[in-house]
Amino acid sequence: MEALKDVTGEGSGNQPASAGDRPGSSARFKAFISYRHVEPDKTYARWLETTLETYQVPKPLVRMRGMPPKLGRMFRDEEELSASANLSETIEDALRASEYLIVVCSPRAAASQWVNAEVDFFRKLGRADRILSLLIEGEPHDAFPPSLYDIRLTPAASNTVSLAEPAEPLAADVRPLPGESNRSRRRMALIRLAATLLNCRFDDLRQRDQERHQQQMVRYLAAAVVSVFVLIGLSIYAWMQRDAAVTAGKEAFSRELAANAVLLPKEDPELNLRLALNAWRVAPTEQAEFSLRNAMVDYNDSHLRAVFEHPSSVRWATFDPKGGRIATASEDGNATLWSVDGGQPLRRFISGAKNEGGYDQIMYQANFSPDGSLLVTANQDGRMRVYRSDTGEKLIDVGAVEPGDKPAALRSAFFSHNGRRILTAGEGGTVAIWDADTGEKLMNLAGARGHSDILYSAVFSPNDELVATASRDGTIRILDARSGELVGKPLTVEPRRPFRTSAFSPPDGKLILGAGESDRAPLWNALTGEGVGGIEGHGELLRWAAFRVRPISS
């Protein structure tokens, strides 16, 4: 491929005409584009017109050298000239009104009389030094029109045109080269032409244009990154919305099943239990937990055996704080861990406790630690046992009632809310706090000894600083968990009925609720002992009461 001179004239004796010789601001067009009206010449001519007119001059050159922000208008004739011997007046007027002539060069253009005539006319205007070429195909000797190929400025007078010696005109080249993309070739050709139209060095314009291109790429990349994150965020949001809608639907169905389990007549306890279990399986809502707990505790052995294949009557049921499991305590002296989803037993915790007649001794309670990793049990034999809930390994087995207590059964055992201590209550009045890791007794709460009848339960306040005990003597006592002493007066209502459970209100424990062998659950101020109402109208005797952190919605 023959070498071409730089379109800017760098490194040659051909210099552009001085500013005084240019049409300047009187020109209506920055350049006239001459081309053969066939493909692909037409496509290149349209590309030249568009890219040159829209080319943004780099801002540093505009600020520091006073260059225009754009090159200006280009003239490109859309119509092929008729078979006439002369150029039309429109073409001649456009050539006169143009500062530069850009010729799209190819073998087809070299054979065109009109391209050659346009070049010859522009030369006669005295602007031979402002004729530029874009070589798109072929070699210079067969792609340049004859009148373009003969242009050469004599060394003596730069404005004098000599036809004595053939010379190559100044050209930008877009012909394909191995290892270089067509886009890159076009970009360099555009910058070469623009540098001449701006009367600046090619290297200066190329450097500034490359800097701008790099800055644009950084902006585009940043925008792309932001767009990706936005799309990811929108996708996550849409997924969360869809998931939230599915979850909301499941929770609504679960609440409906739970409500049916609680409100339907008790003639078919097995049906109520299955409804409660299905409510939990659909979604573990608070209503499902309440209905399932109610069903597990209230219904007898035959109903539980039918649904859970439980081996004995259930005395207590509680839920794993982490979800998915239920622990039951039964009259055969054992605790069982169940899968809520499958309804199958996961593990049995066998106490092996027998009474003097060789019968199993009742397990009254089985409760999880706050993290669900441990299970503590309260047995009729007066012993507290702690197991690993996942493996069944027994970690602690200690006697939790004082010698001589009659009766000697251990009725309740709960972990503190921080999981570090265990609170136990024996029927004979022994209330003790234990180290949950070692099984060491930390203290007996002497204030519980004031009960005159069987002690059923003892629970921690939410901050673990108070303890409430419930007894068959019809009183609830509030004790200081640090000193073990009674705080205020025993809580009671008239007529007196046994209290089986009590509960502090979360999260501050300011209220305390009692439940027992009555259809009324009284409510007191835990600090002053003043009665503040209660819950009435159950129609049946209460066995259990608890607060919820959030109200149960319908």
Question: In this structure, are 151 and 252 located in the same domain?
Answer: no
Q: Using N-to-C axis directions, what is the helix angle for 202-263 and 182-198, rounded to 10°?
A: 130
Residue 553 lies in a domain: no
Residue 547 lies in a domain: no
- Residue 359, pLDDT score: 66
Structural domain including 193 reads 19-200
Run of H or E including 386: strand 383-388
Q: What CATH number has the domain bearing residue 381?
A: 2.130.10.10
Residue 531 has a CB neighbour count (10 Å cut-off) of 13
Residue 546 lies in a domain: no
The residues near 67 (Cβ < 8 Å, ≥ 6 apart) are 57, 61, 198, 200
- Residue 413, pLDDT score: 95
Question: In this structure, are 259 and 320 located in the same domain?
Answer: no
Question: In this structure, are 360 and 289 located in the same domain?
Answer: no
Question: In this structure, are 330 and 472 located in the same domain?
Answer: yes
- Residue 29, pLDDT score: 94
Peptide bond into 146 cis (omega under 30): no
Q: How many domains does the chain have?
A: 3
Residue 329 lies in a domain: yes
Question: In this structure, are 273 and 323 located in the same domain?
Answer: no
Query: What one-character-per-residue DSSP string does 59-99 give?
Result: HHHHHHH---SB---EEE--SPPPS-SS--HHHHHHHHTEE
Residue 554 lies in a domain: no
- Residue 543, pLDDT score: 67
Distance CA 142, CA 111 (A): 9
**Chunked in runs of 10, what are the mean pLDDT values of the chain (554 residues)?**
43 36 64 94 94 91 89 83 65 93 94 92 92 92 84 41 44 87 90 91 86 80 82 83 83 82 66 76 78 62 58 77 81 84 78 71 91 93 92 91 80 94 91 94 89 91 93 92 91 88 89 84 88 74 64 38
Question: In this structure, are 172 and 222 located in the same domain?
Answer: no
- 22, 58, 61, 337, 461 from 55: Cα distances, Å: 22, 9, 13, 77, 77
Question: In this structure, are 530 and 451 located in the same domain?
Answer: yes
Question: In this structure, are 323 and 274 located in the same domain?
Answer: no
Distance CA 476, CA 498 (A): 10
Distance CA 51, CA 102 (A): 13
Token pair 């100044």: residue: 170
Distance CA 483, CA 463 (A): 15
Question: In this structure, are 379 and 480 located in the same domain?
Answer: yes
Question: In this structure, are 242 and 326 located in the same domain?
Answer: no
Residue 548 lies in a domain: no
Question: In this structure, are 275 and 138 located in the same domain?
Answer: no
Question: In this structure, are 192 and 249 located in the same domain?
Answer: no
Q: What CATH number has the domain bearing residue 141?
A: 3.40.50.10140
From 200, 221, 248, give the residue that closes a domain: 200
